[in-house]
Structure 1
Amino acid sequence: MSPAQPGARSGAAQRSRPASLLFLLLALVVAAATVVLPAAGRAHAVSRPSQTMYTPPSGAPSPGSLYPRGLRLKYNGSANGTILATFEQYTNGTPVFPIYRSTDNGNSWSKISDVADTQNGWGMRWEPELFELPTAMGDFPAGTILAAGASVPADRSAIKIDVYASTDRGQTWSFVSNIATGGAAFDTNGNTPVWEPFFLVSGGKLIVYYSDQRDTAHGQKVVHQVSTDVRTWGPVVDDVAMPTYSNRPGMPTVARMPNGNFLMTYEYGGAPEGNFSVYYKISSDPEAFGSVTGIPLRSTDGVVPRSTPYVTWLPTGGPNGTLAVSAYNTGDLFLNTQNGAANTWTRISSNVASGYSRGMVPLADGHSLLVLSGGNGGSNLSNPVTYSTIDLGGGTSDGATYTVSNAGSGLKLTIAGGSTTNGTYAT
């Protein structure tokens, strides 16, 4: 898929635990507290109210903003825990990816820099991706921040997925390499663009997954390339390529699970469950998704989400942790505590509006999830970038304990004098 402004992007499908009164009162006192319960259908949670990071200026082209992404620093010493975010910023000038920073767990944000197109003069227009190198790679130290995305001229006559790097935690940026180059940036079959990069490091290699329309045998497919120095890239390898030419798998994201497997989500244009239904694959090798058969993501109450999926993993929820998936056609999140096993996905309400390719960032407490939305694609829009935090709780699975905490500070509530006997309720 890609671009969702008028005449640009398609693919948007457009395109229990009992508790006492005291327990409940304590939860109200800390309005950001929440408990998430495993359930067959939709669960409910209380989360930090939605807030606004960016509002487009008057006169900005529709849709104003779209496609937010974020990351929490883990390999930057004293700056660990800092969150960086970016998004598509629609402007009458040459577009850039603005970089925003939060040093208070996502409560407040300030703009610190822009990722500008210094190579093509076209602008960094669509589909930003942020990534922090966990180890040194080539001449880049651990903690280097990578920003990639689609450089596209105003007439959309070409597209390049280019990479920029920052070694000062996002304050300045320099061009590193071009990953892939495509033709006219229109997503109808027969054109040859490339879209939607996503990074993963495994086995000392940097893997970039993206959507590719350059193969004449496929309207679009999901592929990856590999680098060991961020500057040179290996051959294109198929990850999802359908036998029917008109089908359009795209928008890949990947999460690593504690059992050593990797889960890739993607949208499947032409899926029998509905156009652009969310599918996923599980592989022990993140470079071998092509040998795995994809399956639809279906919640236990029968819902199959559609379009622009994003997956991430949090350590809460039991020995397997929790996979969380967002999609375009709903504000709900889809959760799985069984390493992605089919028929074990549940739904939970989030406090952030649905949006075209929402971003998600697990926070340092291990159970809180920052969700960012840039709204929908379309005409006559002025989308702000909004965000909130949903607390997935500290449970470990069926019958386990649950944690109540403040989503802003990550601090847990204490009930003085409570019994330590297993199974005793708060009183």
Structure 2
Amino acid sequence: MLDFIYYPVSGIMWVWHWLFSYVTPASPGGDGIAWALSVVFLVFTLRAILYKPFVKQIRTTKKMQEINPQLQAIRKKYAKDRVKMTEEMQKLQKEHGFNPMLGCLPMLLQIPVFIGLFHVLRSFNRMGTGMGQLGMSAAETRSQGNYVFSAEQVQNFLDARLFGVPLSSYLVEPSTEFQAFVEPGAPIDFTRPQIAYVVVPMMIVASIATHMNSRASVQRQPEAALENPQTRMMNNLALYIFPIGILVTGPFFPVAILLYWMSNNIWTYGQQHLVFGKIAKEEEEAKLLKQEKLKANAPKPGVRPDRQKKRNAAADESGNSETTAVSMTKAGATDDADATSDSSPSGATDSGPGAKPKPGQKPTRSNAGAGPGSKKQPPNRGGKSTAKSGKKRGKR
């Protein structure tokens, strides 16, 4: 049914076991260390594949925390209109490049991996009669392959011991299934208390590691996010419910599954510090760069801000244009006045009765006709012609 999960999981585990079988010495009951390391590095391989989605998950979580106040405001504003609320929230998320699925992707991808590993490890011993179990005999179990593992590798796994117990044994396993872990007719070389001595400490370590990982993640959340009731609920689940869940379900998990859980938590703890440290460094660099830009744009001591300079420059330009316009107006008026004075019948201002013309200036009629007894003609003010003036005097 889920062979597309079981074969890849068993294939990665097979590769690591093949490698470590040449590195580690065989234990008295089998190559237990090699099988244990194959489970551990199966975890590391899958988590390395999921590294980029994990980084996106962290960035998505931080982005969600940043826009959470705006989301709360939208929920409050459109509390009576669910459709409008959804549209506005999606619009806000799109503007900030926020994708809620990226926050859940790494966790969702780990679920089928965990299910696949659990099924593959349980399938080494197929004597069980529960859901999904085949109820085989011990001899049949030891002679059947397990996905990519051959029958000989299945026997090697069943004979392998970690701290004296089989890797696929679990605390509440029926004693009738213990026969699959030894050669047919051979006595059982382990007891249930021995399984408890191995399983219980692993359960406690896995539970504490889960709590520490959740605690490290919660401590990096901003205060605004911690005030959100939904965030507080999720934090409580991660801090207390999940670790307690491992303690409750631990007796039903094979030793190799608990080893997987411990390895997964160790990887997560180190990866969180690495990723959060990298993100914090990027944020610090961005902050310093912003400060440098503000410092570069800021005015030096004793120098006015750039805005004032722009205002002064604009005022100077407008003032210069006005001054130029006024000067041009005055110049034009002066030229007009000069032209009027030059073209007036009375001549220059300094010309009067008996006045001599200036050098190079032609004598005017008024100057030429003026004599000692002649009457002074009034200036032609009002712009009327001399002919009209004569006609008026004739009528009189």
Q: Identify the TM-score tier after normalising by the shorter chain.
A: under 0.3
- Higher relative CO (Cα under 8 Å, sequence separation at least 6) belongs to 1
Higher helix share: 2
Select the structure that is richer in strand: 1
TM-score (norm 1): 0.20
TM-score, structure 2 length as denominator? 0.21
Could you say which structure has the larger radius of gyration? 2
